[in-house]
A and B are shown apart, each in its own frame.
Chain A
């Protein structure tokens, strides 16, 4: 089966740093995505990790440890516009069919206050 866990909600203040964790259990793993979704809008791609380590992209960084089934998204210099839901999604491979699909966590709602 597949299981992806993220905290439901987090709060932080403008200018701070926040880390959103994601743990996963899947039958076949082939990469992990982070998406941002503002209320009432479509999810937008933030980052992709397939190898262990840290990927940095501006104020956002994402880390992956395949052996621990763990990832985090790090947001630096928080801005009010970063208030959104952050979705962790694992690329899961079916051991039976070999087909791959994205399995999403329920998302972490981040509220940035002044």
Chain B
């Protein structure tokens, strides 16, 4: 069974640009959660999608948005990039919503803002 796939693995952008990250969950998993990981803050929850609906949202500005498609694949978009957005962005999939079952993480997209 294929794991969670995130693309691209690495990305370099400049301030003010926008970026779209992609996450393909494990087959059969309908929940996709996104996290930002930085050395000082650890993993911080961005949002969760389940059956194409955003179910929960963390404390991030509106520049961070996402969506989920009918095949459960999810995308995350960050607009007007800032230096502080440099981080590892992880997505995790699960059969059910709300973190009730173990989440399976992808290898992440490392985003660097110059």
Contact = CB atoms under 8 A, between A and B. Distances in A.
Interface stretch (A11-19, A61-69, A103-111): A103-111
Contact of A42 (B40, B90, B99): B90
Interface residues of B, number: 25
Contacts of B58: 101
Interface of B: 4, 33, 35, 40-45, 48, 55-56, 58, 90, 97-100, 102-108
A103 B102 CA distance: 13
B48 A41 contact: no
Nearest to A105: B42
Nearest to A99: B56
Interface size class of A (residues with CB under 8 A): 20 to 34
Nearest to B3: A42
A104 B44 contact: yes
Nearest to A103: B45
B43 A87 contact: yes
Given A42-B90, A104-B44, A31 B56 contact: no
Contacts of B108: 42
A100 B105 contact: no
Contacts of B97: 100
Interface string A79-114: 000000001010100100101111111110000000
Contact of B106 (A42, A105, A106): A42
